[in-house]
Amino acid sequence: MRKNHLSPELEGEILSNFRIPSGEYTLVPYGSGHINDTLLAGNGKGDRYIFQRINNNIFQDVPALMGNILRVTEFLQDSVRKNGGDPRRESLTVIRTVDNAPYYQDREGGYWRAYLFVEDTVCRDRAETAEEFAQSGEAFGRFQKLLADFPADSLAETIPDFHNTPKRFEAFLDAIQKDPLGRKKEVEREIEFLLARREDMSRLTEALRKGELPLRVTHNDTKLNNVLLDRETLRGICVIDLDTVMPGLSVNDFGDSIRFGASTAPEDEQDLSKVEMSLSLFRAYAEGFLRGCDGRLTENEYACLPLGAKTMTMECGMRFLTDYLLGDTYFKTHRPGQNLDRCRTQLKLVADMEGKWAEMERIISECRG
Ligand code: ADP
Ligand code: GN1
Ligand code: MG
């Protein structure tokens, strides 16, 4: 069991400030997210909770962030209830503090929140079968459907311009220009690859600006490990990691899942010969996602699904490279060069998608039936 790095005093302070049943809890590091510090708390009597120290460098307005999450989870729970589902299993449940707040600020300034631990689920960094990936697609599609009547523009932007790809491109140019660690010379090929795709970076934001694509409530971080699958049935049941739920594009939600889950190798694979965008996984996800959306997408949205995949993959590759150039301050890394490896897998995937474009389009039209 991994140990956490909290002092016993801090542990006690955090645990005593949330409304959870009494008992001796142990807190152990949990999951493989790149952003928050996630801990599993259990008292040995069956009461288990996820505690998270919210990454306050990245999410600067925690009250607004938790306001979004409270409203979205309450709305989701109502929708799930109306559909005869189990709201505490098919949605996250925020645990309030003893002062009835959705987060607690500790004596060191850290912001904490707690969720019910959703029991009897599995969370995958890689899909073991195409069906598991399809199930995650169905869960993210259903998330679209359940939130279709939620007023998108009433949500706070928890990270402004999160998927504004042309702005990410500007930040990338800035990092190249500053090159504070002298790393630019090692990554000339990657830089060139991204510079050559400048035009593509703004295609989706332009379509949104012209009203060709609708603004929706989107998740914006639709990695496979942000869905919990039922341990028995392996059905995708609960969408988690709601920090980036805000107004956005459905095609980006689709695309980010493809970027992560349709790859034949992990995000930080060093042997690029293993990295491809699998068309069979692409098809599986598209089938699940479209089933979950249940006819709610517009013609233009269907047409832009492949572009969503390419845009999210380019953007993510560019973000990893920007972070590498600036000294790995955003994404958690566990070894030197990991962000560069992550960037390289993304660029390999982009090149592979470009070669498979016609097939991706054909698969989408077949999935529409
Ligand atoms: P990050 O933003 O750092 O990715 P997440 O919110 O995705 O953090 O949580 C990290 C991991 O913790 C998830 O991938 C999942 O394995 C696990 N997890 C988070 N919330 C829950 C929950 N309510 N029930 C069960 N597992 C959870
Ligand atoms: C981060 O939080 P996590 O690990 O699910 C990041 C995503 C990236 C992803 C790359 C808030 O996701 O945008 O696509 O890493 N989340 C944030 O793996 O920046
Ligand atoms: Mg996550």
Domain ranges, ordered by start, for the chain: 8-119, 130-368
Q: Which residue has the tokens 């049941």?
A: 237
pLDDT, residue 32, reads 84
Residue nearest to atom 23 of ligand 1 (CA): 117
**For residues 188 and 321, what is the distance between their CA atoms, to the nearest angstrom?**
11
179 C-alpha to ligand 2 centroid (Å): 23
Q: Which amino acid is at 185?
A: K
331 lines ligand 1 (CB under 6 A): no
Residues whose CB falls within 8 Å of the CB of residue 309, separated by 6 or more in sequence, listed in order? 254, 255, 258, 259, 262, 277, 282, 353, 360
323 lines ligand 2 (CB under 6 A): no
Q: Which amino acid is at 145?
A: K
**For residues 55 and 41, what is the distance between their CA atoms, to the nearest angstrom?**
19
Residue nearest to atom 17 of ligand 2 (CA): 35
158 lines ligand 2 (CB under 6 A): no
Residues 138, 288 contacting (CB under 8 angstroms): yes
* Closest ligand by atom to 52 CA: 1
223 lines ligand 2 (CB under 6 A): yes
Q: Which amino acid is at 62?
A: V
> Tokens for 86?
């189990």
222 lines ligand 1 (CB under 6 A): no
Q: Which amino acid is at 263?
A: S
pLDDT, residue 277, reads 98
> Which residue among 30, 32, 35, 259 has the greatest number of ligand 2 atoms within 8 angstroms of its CB, and so is best to mutate?
35
Residues 204, 252 contacting (CB under 8 angstroms): yes
DSSP class of residue 264? S
List the beta bridge partners of residue 42: 26, 48
33 lines ligand 2 (CB under 6 A): yes
Pick the CATH number of 8-119 from 3.30.200.20, 3.40.50.10420, 3.40.50.720, 3.80.10.10: 3.30.200.20
226 C-alpha to ligand 3 centroid (Å): 5
pLDDT, residue 5, reads 86
Residues 51, 11 contacting (CB under 8 angstroms): no
> Which residue among 331, 341, 349 has the greatest number of ligand 2 atoms within 8 angstroms of its CB, and so is best to mutate?
331
For the chain, what is the mean pLDDT? Answer: 96
- In ligand 2, the atom with minimum distance to the C-alpha of 35 is 2
35 C-alpha to ligand 2 centroid (Å): 7
Beta strands 26-29 and 37-42 are antiparallel
CA–centroid distance for 279 within its chain:
21
> Tokens for 221?
């971080």
H or E element that contains 359: helix 357-368
Residue nearest to atom 12 of ligand 2 (CA): 34
pLDDT, residue 369, reads 76
Burial 109-126 (b: 16+ CB within 10 A, else e): ebbbbbbbbbeebebbee
**For residues 151 and 170, what is the distance between their CA atoms, to the nearest angstrom?**
30
3-state helix, strand, coil in the chain (%, to 5): 50, 10, 35
**For residues 126 and 253, what is the distance between their CA atoms, to the nearest angstrom?**
18
**For residues 267 and 13, what is the distance between their CA atoms, to the nearest angstrom?**
36
Give the tens place of pLDDT for each residue, 35-58.
999 999 999 999 999 999 999 999
Residues of the chain under the 70 pLDDT cut: 1-2
316 lines ligand 2 (CB under 6 A): yes
221 lines ligand 2 (CB under 6 A): yes
Burial 330-339 (b: 16+ CB within 10 A, else e): bbebeeeebb
Q: Which CATH superfamily is domain 130-368 in?
A: Aminoglycoside phosphotransferase (APH), C-terminal lobe (3.90.1200.10)
121 φ/ψ angles, rounded to the nearest 5 degrees = -130, 165
Q: Which residue has the tokens 């995958």?
A: 124
Q: Which amino acid is at 291?
A: R
Residue nearest to atom 4 of ligand 1 (CA): 33
pTM of the complete model: 0.95
